[in-house]
Structure 1
């Protein structure tokens, strides 16, 4: 173990010398009306989806969309406004990639005008779109037909039980070709286009900026964790952005011992506290960020954090840097986690149950490799997946210690990074020093 640590630190230093400089994103205006999603979605379908289908060895993907209880993938394929049952087909043949929709006549005009799909076929009132799609499929002789039934990925599990029964009935013998879309959805959603990364860069910068402002409004001995959270909610309303995850726990502000994923409480912030804010915003109602910033509340007569707190901070920051250095195409998620665990053990960190990181994009815990599994591989199967260019992660630099009262406090400085051709780079400037609350 002692021989491994210097090697990791050397690799980390080398990666920093070779990494491109981090570009800070200017704070955008509070206007999100010009949504780039329609064009980005179209590019994702026509550029990334064929690649994902080939990677998952799928030659046809069938998605059923409907009103009020829609498939979770609906907005990604243009089916979010479905009324009656619509069937979306994506397939590969000798001529290339195709997208074909069997749409009820009442919604077909608007869907066709979006110009997302190669063809939108109108299905007359009283005629089953499922039967029309099944007739088309029987004529194509596909080897496999992926549908959204998945045990491991909620975004690939949108096909209801009754829809599955109806589909199998109209397909007849072709139903034996139905397979899960788990791998296909994984391959497609885990990669983000450069334009999407830039939007997430903005979301990350906003989340970071708001946290610095929140720390500046704290009055030790008066301000509560919940009041800091309320301040951040007000900033979100001012800028017209939404919560990156459930509003009850976004943000999580905690000036006491570890609480895990939680809501902010009425604890009063006191001198000597180490404060954690876990916070993210959603832009255009599509893309999210997940950023944590840490602060120390100065005691009377202090101009800097005590030596032990500074040391804990440096250990946590080093963990983030080593994790970033380990992130590159072809590396498994578990290897990124393991790189940090080696450093944590050498630094004397207490046990930390959480994974080093997770994919982030359309949701805070998105589809892609899990940066974990070094401690409990059986519960993190996605940790065995390889990183690819275009994947975006939120990940923590960990260090945990026992407080005087026997409880545990964890520094988990959370940053966001995108995997590049040869490595990974932070989306925004990472936190370099503990924020000091006077």
Structure 2
């Protein structure tokens, strides 16, 4: 069985109650507090999102359009009176939408009339400069406008359609920043993911337990606590006691003495916010009381890289600079090449909108690495050390933690893993 250092702080001593979802109030605050600043940063006066039933815009749940039936148009705009939110909704859904009290005004569109045309007429009366629409080549969250919807919108706007620009930067600026209340929920999600992994290491019997059985244990913990997968269920968790497999599923490999085990795992709370945490362990051989010197040094190198990345995370620093900070340590420590970025934004999905903490190894692959970090951004990030095993395959320790950028630097969401877990 395993001998694990218990987490310093735990939120999983009793089953939590997820019934009181804070998303409605948080969403409203995000719209009224963060969206105006995002629009200013992106240099747009108006943002149009079109929502509909069955094949909805990916931004719909962020703006209150998740229950759209017929086509509804959500407008957010800035004028001399400040920030406004206005929805042109089919009559059948307008009452319920208005009662949610998300938007400043919900205008009813009578049955048989077009919400797009009604919104276009309103826009025609305003002297907006740039009008953002959800068409994007680089940001899936800003690419929800279908071809037919765009054609309809352009026709309705007429000459004003020339003012349309992509909402790529607007959506980036808005979604990349998390409110303090959101950070606290993600802190809970991170703690649960870490706690469950320590418990999973405790159930391992070397020579008997498989990677898949450890993954199944974690699935059962998720079910017990009423939380969901942070990414696709087939690959969450990824439990790997063999050579590197990248983003993958757990296999039937039996965990053996001498193995280094990686668990990459995250949970979703309130069906909105996710975590992404990795914990590493070494399986002791007969007669061993600690990891061999080589394995221990690989762990220390990986941890040092993680801490270097953490120290580099400050407002105004580019993502590529964070990547470079830990890669410099990797090179000095003699690590093999690692293709993965040092880190990525995390929040509503595991790989969220925001600066990529990469680019030092291949700049053209990670254009978002040139973006600057800002207070309120949350990242999952690694410290890497990779080595060649005796069979010619590679194994990588990736000390993945989560941190939020603050005004002065960065703050770990939970206590980071300081010691390599030992499985007896």
Does the residue aligned with 1:409 lie in a helix, a strand or coil?
strand
Query: Are 1:296 and 2:259 matched, yes or no?
Result: no
**Residues 63-99 of structure 1: per-residue CA shift (max 9 Å, x gap):** 0000000000000000000000000000000010000
- Do residues 223 (structure 1) and 209 (structure 2) align? yes
| Equivalent residue in structure 2 for 1:26, among 5, 8, 11 | 11
**What is aligned with 2:176?**
190
Match of 1:15 in 2: none
1:374 aligns with 2:360: yes
Structure 1 residue aligned with 2:76: 90
> What is the match of residue 317 of structure 1?
303
**In 1, Cα distance between the equivalents of 2:375 and 2:401?**
18
Q: Secondary structure at the match of 1:91?
A: strand
Deviation at 1:31, TM superposition (A): 1.9
- The answer to whether the 8 Å contact 2:244/2:394 transfers is yes
Structure 1 residues 21-57: Cα deviation after superposition (integer angstroms, max 9, x where no partner) = x994633633211000000000000000000000000
Pick the aligned partner of 2:329 from 328, 332, 343: 343
Using the size of structure 1 for normalisation, the TM-score is 0.94
Mapped pair 1:50 → 2:36: yes
Does the CA contact (< 8 Å) of 1:101 and 1:117 recur in 2?
Answer: yes
Cα offset, 1:144, TM superposition: 1.1
Contact kept, 8 Å, 1:156 with 1:185, in 2: the verdict is yes
Cα distance in 2 for partners of 1:338, 1:383 equals 11
2:403 aligned residue (417, 426, 430): 417
Residue from 68, 72, 75 that aligns with 2:54: 68
Give runs of aligned pairs for residues 143-162 of structure 1, distance below 5 A. Answer: 143-162=129-148
Alpha carbons 2:11, 2:192 under 8 Å: kept: no
TM-score under structure 2 normalisation?
A: 0.97
**Structure 1 residues 112-137: Cα deviation after superposition (integer angstroms, max 9, x where no partner):** 00000000001110111001000000
Match of 1:281 in 2: 267
Give the Cα–Cα distance (whole angstroms) in 2 for the partners of residues 69 and 197 of structure 1.
30
Match of 1:178 among 164, 170, 182: 164
Matched-pair contact (CA < 8 Å) for 1:30–1:238: no
Q: Distance in 2 between matches of 1:199 and 1:405?
A: 43
Partner Cα distance (2:388, 2:102) in 1: 55
Q: Hey, what's the Cα distance between the residues in 2 that align with 1:259 and 1:277?
A: 12
Aligned-partner Cα distance in 2 for 1:324–1:175: 44
> Unmatched 5+ residue regions in structure 2?
1-6
Q: Distance in 1 between matches of 2:383 and 2:224?
A: 31
Q: Which residue does 1:243 correspond to in 2?
A: 229
The 8 Å contact of residues 73 and 87 in structure 2, kept in 1 or not, is answered as yes
CA RMSD of aligned residues (A): 1.0
| Conserved? CA contact 1:319–1:340, under 8 Å | yes
State the partner residue of 2:3: none
1:25–1:428 CA contact under 8 A, matched in 2: no
Q: Is the 8 A contact 1:25 1:201 kept in 2?
A: no
Counterpart in 2 of 1:118? Answer: 104
Contact 1:58 1:146 in 2 (8 A): yes
CA offsets 1:130-155 (integer angstroms, 9 cap, x no match): 01000000000211110000000000
Q: Secondary structure at the match of 1:159?
A: coil
- Kindly tell me: are residues 266 and 201 of structure 1, through their superposed partners in 2, closer, same or farther at Cα, counting changes over 3 Å? same
- Distance, in Å, in 1 between the alignment partners of 2:10 and 2:53 is 38
Write the deviation string for residues 213-248 of structure 1: whole angstroms up to 9, x where unpaired.
000000000000000000000000000000000000
Matched, 1:408 2:394: yes
Q: Report the 3-state secondary structure (helix = DSSP H, G, I; strand = E; otherwise coil) of the residue aligned with 1:92.
A: strand
Name the SS for the 1:295 alignment partner: strand
